Amino acid sequence: MSSTRPDHVLIVGAGAAGLMACRELLRAGKRVTILEARHRCGGRIYPLPTSEFGYAAEGGPEFIHGEAPQTRSLLREAGLKISPIEGVRWNVRDGIFSKADATGPDTDGLFQILSELESDLSVLELIERHFSGKQHDELRRVILRMVEGYDAADPARASAFGLRDEWVGRGLGNHGRVVGGYGALIEFLASQCRGLGASMQLGLPVKAIERNAGGITARCIDGRTYKGDAAIIAVPLPLLSAIELPRPAQQKAAMTTGMGFGNVVKFLLRFTARWWVTGGGKDLTDLSFLFTDLAIPTWWTQYPSEYPVLTGWLSGSRIQTVMHLDETKLVEFAVSSLAKAFEVAEADLKRNLVSARAINWANDPFAQGAYSYVTLETRKIQSLLRGSNGDDVFFSGEALYQGRDVGTVEAALASGLETARSLLAARQRVAGPTRM
């Protein structure tokens, strides 16, 4: 272990967590070099060109969930606004549209059982134990939609405590969108980092972090090396075990298979007009979300904005059926599912399609999935990973967040900040409090 305080921190990954850690360290007077595999910052925050959908559409995260204090504070600093989610949520089943909020099950019984749980169990076990009867059909549907859809989780692995943390006492909280998209937030953060003197190396995947007498060396796949005094590894969970790390960090990284990491295919379809507003013989002018019993179970609009764009969301076990499809086939699959939901001709939808994307996040080499979820082992593994590894190797990222909203931008920002502060504190302990 180095006995000198690190001046120079290497951060692997320029997602929300890496950038947030970077800014905090720079503000504390450290030198920082960010090594990022992609040719852009933001990671899973993936803004699509305005020309494609007519606005700053999101290929990755789109919503701000709940209180999200770090996100909201950063947005304020950046002078960015939040637009609240408005409109009406609808169900469509067998071609019949009904307002979702009017037909939702009584969740009080679920919340009661969750509140009284003394030991954790998987969501699947919870359902089998308490909600297996016919009378619970609708409640099971809602729980599974939450777990498989919203959390992109496997109910057999997802933690009932995790569900409780997320849901009980606040529902899903207030949702909003960043006006101008999450990309604007990343631009702000990255420009702050640059302004404070960060060196940003893009297009540079790191393959190993080595500890040697002089400190830490990051070895990149093109053979380049960067030297520093400490490193923060802020990559998504599946990528952690792809980087060679010094012990015990390597051993800890191997344990992350016990944490959950789900996948999502996000579909964006831009049409010539908002044809759906008269869908199903109803007035759907203010449609926000549409829940279906078809291949793609969730769609949403940009309401109150009137962009003629529908976004589809596929996650959980159903995703397996489309894993072999390329983007063109995925778009066809989405159009077909949508046509069935509204009982309109597929050919008409295709004719009115202006642009389309289908992003399967498992195929993204630097994400290998969408985001993490809480399993029965997550909290224990998080505690191990959040500790320092010889005071010079640290982990960061959404999956390490111990609050209730893992798998979010908020989680990544909070984790980045926390990791930077832990690093500063750890190094101060090593070097003593005299010089900073």
Ligand X SMILES: Cc1cc2nc3c(=O)[nH]c(=O)nc-3n(C[C@H](O)[C@H](O)[C@H](O)COP(=O)(O)OP(=O)(O)OC[C@H]3O[C@@H](n4cnc5c(N)ncnc54)[C@H](O)[C@@H]3O)c2cc1C
AA letter at 277: V
Rule CB under 6 A: say whether 407 interacts with ligand X: yes
Q: Say which residues have a Cβ less than 8 Å from residue 110's Cβ, sequence separation at least 6.
A: 131, 139, 143
Compare residues 337 and 372 and give the one whose CB is closer to ligand X: 372
- For ligand X, the closer CB: 15 or 280: 15
**What residues numbered 64-83 form the site for ligand X, per CB under 6 A?**
65
- Packing angle of the helix pair 123-130, 137-144 (nearest 10 deg): 170
The residue with its CB nearest to ligand X is: 15
Among 9, 10, 11, 17, contact with ligand X (rule: CB under 6 A): 17
Taking contact as CB under 6 A, which single stretch among the options 43-51, 143-151, 158-166, 254-262 is the one that binds ligand X?
43-51
Which stretch in 9-17, 78-86, 253-261, 286-294 sits in contact with ligand X by CB under 6 A? 9-17
User: Does residue 374 touch ligand X according to CB under 6 A?
Assistant: no
371 binds ligand X (CB under 6 A): yes
Cα–Cα distance for residue pair 167/405, rounded to 1 Å: 10
Tell me which H or E stretch contains 248: none
193 touches 22 (CB < 8 A): yes
Contact predicate 372/252, CB 8 Å: no
**Rounded to the nearest whole angstrom, what is the least distance from the CB of residue 378 to ligand X in the complex?**
14
| Bridge partner residues of 84 (DSSP) | 176
In the complex, minimum distance from the CB of residue 99 to ligand X, in angstroms, rounded to a whole number: 23
Beta-sheet strand order (sheet of 199-201):
199-201, 31-35, 8-12, 230-233, 393-395
Does position 63 bind ligand X by CB under 6 A? yes
| Residue choice 110, 300, 397, 420 for contact with ligand X (CB under 6 A) | 397
CA distances from residue 236 to 76, 140, 372, 399, 412 in whole angstroms, order as listed: 27, 30, 9, 8, 10
Q: Does 245 bind ligand X (CB under 6 A)?
A: no
Taking CB under 6 A as the rule, which mask of x and - marks residues 216-235 in contact with ligand X? Answer: ------------------xx
361 counts as binding ligand X under rule CB under 6 A? yes
- What is the Cβ-side half-sphere exposure of residue 257, based on CA atoms within 13 angstroms? 6
Counting contacts by CB under 6 A, is residue 243 touching ligand X?
yes
Cβ distance to ligand X smaller for residue 127 or 314: 314
| Residue 175, SS3 per DSSP | strand
User: Does 45 contact ligand X by CB under 6 A?
Assistant: yes
**Nearest distance from residue 305's CB to ligand X, in Å?**
16
Backbone angles phi, psi at 238, to 5 degrees: -65, -20
What is the contact surface with ligand X in residues (CB under 6 A)?
12-18, 35-38, 43-45, 60-63, 65, 205-206, 234-236, 239, 243, 264, 266, 361, 366-367, 370-371, 397-398, 407-412
